[in-house]
Structure 1
């Protein structure tokens, strides 16, 4: 698919987003937890990478039952991270470097410590009772329906004081808001307006496809494909608890608000099959989010044939006005280097930064952080603690950044809240910045190349036939053709190529007869 208006592209079409998990980026005050002032101290690293925007995971006041995704005040700053003055200083420093800032907006649920919920649970007659989803017990007693929390266990919590259950898609400390109530919609849009007025450049919208539930809250159907070892949530198909038609009007209202502020960006977290995923772009007459987040590089096996099919199907699913996006890591997903090894993680970096669309990088992937051992007594993730032994822990992706070989890797002056990766004395920013063959230098080279190439930032994509184990495609725009050849195997592949080598994931000793094991190449070809 070709962008119908490539010369009018907003900043985010050719841009790159960098996700920061604030607890784990830089501690400035010696409590072992990262904070806003710490992020400000490390902005030069982000700017030197060559990205365009920063997305911050939640920084709002929170009891931290789910580490910030349980918000007690949508218009404040969590004291462990700083205060509003620290936020304003960080935003100014980000903008001074020519970068944008996206905040993490969590509209599906609030903390049960939020004043709205405290009022809601105080009485069935309270004006805010209907701001949340309350129901009587089932006729025979127990939860109102069979819905399962994404964290495991029933999605309902009984409140003895008022004799009803409230819905919580995640932890019981995260009560679902009732978006069928117009007052809730007004209040939450006002939250977005508050931060837009303060100068933020957009939002990543958490679990957007959960935001409204089917009328009547019917039971979800049983999943016949569920097997032991999968999450408890997957026992059911979330037919009535997610992706309801009415949610699109909410997304359109958010978009209309954002568009009123100029080139603001909305990224929607949405896990759905391609046909349903694409609906979240909306229509030209009623657009929704700019980028429904695409996690398919995380969710699928790492094979050339499989990824080729993923790319082709995703591209084919997009509406003519939709712009693609890609991600290989996040605060919820296993590290890419842990999944496929460091050599293939270099290939993954090249893939991410050369596919058509807006890529999102996750902090630490530019260092090649791989597997991190989390001792049982250091586990902090409530999802892992509630469903142990099935490999869904998220702590492994939230460990602190390593900045240098000093005490606690330069992240803090005390033991961090989560352990560092074992090889941090050599896998850190300072060490890799001095190593021409490091993952960090590869990321910087790829980002610089992308920025300098119209074909890589805005060009069309054409998948090419290639030998088994190789993924190949061309990017073309404004008189420039760039070819990408990625060997997703651990062996050499015969594939004669021509053109000027712009980048290899290995070194300069390229072989025009083919690709070396675990090698990715970017070539400049004449049109």
Structure 2
């Protein structure tokens, strides 16, 4: 049986609002994406993951959908979409759409119908509950974007559940009609020629209900802080059943790439979801390594900052590399539209920006799995400089700042520093194409300002510089396509206790490749039990020194073919 094509592919995520604006209105659009496809082909990209372009009120960056079969006017028309898809396919690039079916917008026709009366046929498309005895919310759950996870609907006297914004009501997947609607909209896009889906928080679609249909209160972790309700609504008892049904009804009839976003997923669930024979999806996005620089169990969630310990990162990534080997498949990522820029988060976005961006790329692209590059990552784009909360465009960051400072008494500067470090706007500043006004993203006024470092960090300069981050990514991607050991080779962690170096082997048959990454700005000595080796790629000029007692330069990374 042939190996699925997506295992040897490299994907590139486009956040359309911020990628390229073709008409000067300040918002990226589909013709803008089409105009940059040769750039992606030059990079070596096989798959584009396109963040949502559907009709939406944009309360949460388009992840609140009001019409799954319509293109948002700011992005263009369906004809623009068809042209973009055709141009992608002409270049050998496949398209993976974002599928958000845990919730809709409150402006979706299903929800507007559901609000008309308790006996409306669409009422059971969503999760409604009567008020508690005191008239308040049915339970104590808090939404991911702050505040109660329940919103009262006065005309019908009930609350509806929303785990994110109040404009994102949760769908009731226990209702078979809901699942049939989801299957139908998936077929709509697949029949247009789309090649697969990234499925937003898909492991939240099955909730754990009590016997009486109620949803239990979240435990109190400590006074004033609840266990995040997020952890109570993931991986419910019918999740695998729902995914298998989706596979049977839709996915088995098309040649697709599928990745499920799965917060709170365990390794066991990863195997269950992505097993090559019994799983329903190709791979998943798990978040274990994304949570390592936050204080575990803290009530402030991801905003409770702590310094990343390299040992924790080795343990986490190795657990998933080893655990899914032969039993599933990993998605490899360090950034996306919800995460800050990796060179600012895990590297050095100052003096060693270029070297550390290349090091992080080496770490990721050397592992087993399908690598994902988020737009601008291949340029070493950095976090944005927030002067105040007024610089925030993202609902999550604004809500967190208000709640933290007004309700929890947190110093505004502490809250702002958390946003500077983890805020989602860091990834959503416009793409930096050249040194002209607004980085060449638009001829108008961009929907949010371009990062002020764009005169020095942009694709035009990167393409002209043979030693740029872009060309290093290009070389890594080409290396992966040329050598099956980087796709199929087993992973083995080395130097597990070393505080500065992340090193591992990839082995396939008699082939052994060594990946070495100096994670910091020091000059540690590499001590591995290998002598003869050929350096295949590295982010510094080669010195000719062998592996024995090699002194690594700041953020140095290299891949060696062992002999």
TM-score bracket for the superposition, by shorter chain length? over 0.9
Report 1:222-371 matches (<5 A). Answer: 222-224=219-221, 235-236=227-228, 238-281=230-273, 286-300=278-292, 302-318=308-324, 320-339=326-345, 340-341=347-348, 342=353, 343-371=355-383
So what's the TM-score if we normalise by structure 1? 0.93
SS of corresponding position for 1:321: coil
CA contact (8 A) 1:148 1:155 kept: yes
1:516 aligns with: 553
SS of corresponding position for 1:111: coil
CA contact (8 A) 2:129 2:160 kept: yes
Q: Which runs of 5+ in 2 are unaligned?
A: 294-307, 402-414
SS of corresponding position for 1:87: helix
SS of corresponding position for 1:204: strand
Which among 492, 503, 506 is matched to residue 462 of structure 1? Answer: 492
- Alpha-carbon distance between aligned partners in 2 of 1:344 and 1:455, rounded to the nearest angstrom: 24
SS of corresponding position for 1:413: coil
SS of corresponding position for 1:355: coil
CA contact (8 A) 1:471 1:485 kept: yes
- Alpha-carbon distance between aligned partners in 2 of 1:11 and 1:37, rounded to the nearest angstrom: 27
- Alpha-carbon distance between aligned partners in 2 of 1:432 and 1:239, rounded to the nearest angstrom: 42
2:303 aligns with: none
Which among 500, 522, 530 is matched to residue 491 of structure 1? Answer: 522
2:218 aligns with: 221
Which among 158, 163, 169 is matched to residue 163 of structure 2? Answer: 169
**Range moving further from structure 2, 91-100 or 319-328:** 319-328
- Alpha-carbon distance between aligned partners in 2 of 1:65 and 1:76, rounded to the nearest angstrom: 17
Q: 1:241, CA displacement in angstroms? A: 2.3
Report 1:109-188 matches (<5 A). Answer: 109-188=103-182
CA contact (8 A) 1:167 1:175 kept: yes
- Alpha-carbon distance between aligned partners in 1 of 2:86 and 2:256, rounded to the nearest angstrom: 17
Q: Which digits, 9 at most, give the CA deviation of each residue in 1:159-199, with x for residues without a partner?
A: 11111111111111111111111110101111111111111
Q: Which digits, 9 at most, give the CA deviation of each residue in 1:59-99, with x for residues without a partner?
A: 00000011100000011110000111000001111111101
- Alpha-carbon distance between aligned partners in 2 of 1:236 and 1:426, rounded to the nearest angstrom: 41
* Closer, same or farther: CA 387–70 of 1 in aligned 2, 3 Å: same
Task: Give the number of equivalent residue pairs.
Answer: 515
* Closer, same or farther: CA 226–289 of 1 in aligned 2, 3 Å: farther
- Alpha-carbon distance between aligned partners in 1 of 2:168 and 2:452, rounded to the nearest angstrom: 34
Q: Are 2:471 and 1:441 equivalent residues in the alignment?
A: yes
CA contact (8 A) 2:190 2:254 kept: no
- Alpha-carbon distance between aligned partners in 2 of 1:264 and 1:225, rounded to the nearest angstrom: 45
* Closer, same or farther: CA 303–240 of 1 in aligned 2, 3 Å: closer
**Range moving further from structure 2, 395-404 or 304-313:** 304-313
CA contact (8 A) 2:30 2:84 kept: yes
Which among 445, 450, 463 is matched to residue 420 of structure 1? Answer: 450
Q: Which runs of 5+ in 1 are unaligned?
A: none
Q: 1:300, CA displacement in angstroms? A: 2.7
CA contact (8 A) 1:454 1:478 kept: no
* Closer, same or farther: CA 452–258 of 1 in aligned 2, 3 Å: farther
Q: Which digits, 9 at most, give the CA deviation of each residue in 1:231-270, with x for residues without a partner?
A: x8x6435454222011111111222345433420110001
- Alpha-carbon distance between aligned partners in 1 of 2:344 and 2:187, rounded to the nearest angstrom: 39
1:100 aligns with: 94
* Closer, same or farther: CA 292–327 of 1 in aligned 2, 3 Å: same
**Range moving further from structure 2, 339-348 or 185-194:** 339-348
- Alpha-carbon distance between aligned partners in 2 of 1:220 and 1:484, rounded to the nearest angstrom: 47
Q: 1:337, CA displacement in angstroms? A: 1.1
Cα RMSD after superposing both structures: 2.1
* Closer, same or farther: CA 471–428 of 1 in aligned 2, 3 Å: same
- Alpha-carbon distance between aligned partners in 2 of 1:226 and 1:13, rounded to the nearest angstrom: 47
CA contact (8 A) 2:330 2:368 kept: yes
SS of corresponding position for 2:514: strand
CA contact (8 A) 1:297 1:326 kept: no
Q: 1:411, CA displacement in angstroms? A: 0.7
CA contact (8 A) 2:364 2:371 kept: yes
SS of corresponding position for 1:109: coil
* Closer, same or farther: CA 107–521 of 1 in aligned 2, 3 Å: same
Q: 1:385, CA displacement in angstroms? A: 1.3
- Alpha-carbon distance between aligned partners in 1 of 2:222 and 2:9, rounded to the nearest angstrom: 39
- Alpha-carbon distance between aligned partners in 1 of 2:542 and 2:222, rounded to the nearest angstrom: 48
- Alpha-carbon distance between aligned partners in 2 of 1:246 and 1:510, rounded to the nearest angstrom: 57
Q: Are 2:199 and 1:201 equivalent residues in the alignment?
A: no
Q: 1:304, CA displacement in angstroms? A: 4.1
So what's the TM-score if we normalise by structure 2? 0.87
2:29 aligns with: 35
**Range moving further from structure 2, 100-109 or 487-496:** 487-496
Q: Which digits, 9 at most, give the CA deviation of each residue in 1:471-490, with x for residues without a partner?
A: 22221235532211111132
- Alpha-carbon distance between aligned partners in 2 of 1:127 and 1:147, rounded to the nearest angstrom: 27
Q: 1:428, CA displacement in angstroms? A: 0.3
CA contact (8 A) 1:202 1:258 kept: no
Q: 1:318, CA displacement in angstroms? A: 2.5
Which among 15, 25, 29 is matched to residue 9 of structure 2? Answer: 15
Q: 1:225, CA displacement in angstroms? A: 6.3
SS of corresponding position for 1:484: strand
* Closer, same or farther: CA 462–195 of 1 in aligned 2, 3 Å: same
- Alpha-carbon distance between aligned partners in 2 of 1:430 and 1:510, rounded to the nearest angstrom: 32
Which among 513, 516, 538 is matched to residue 504 of structure 1? Answer: 538
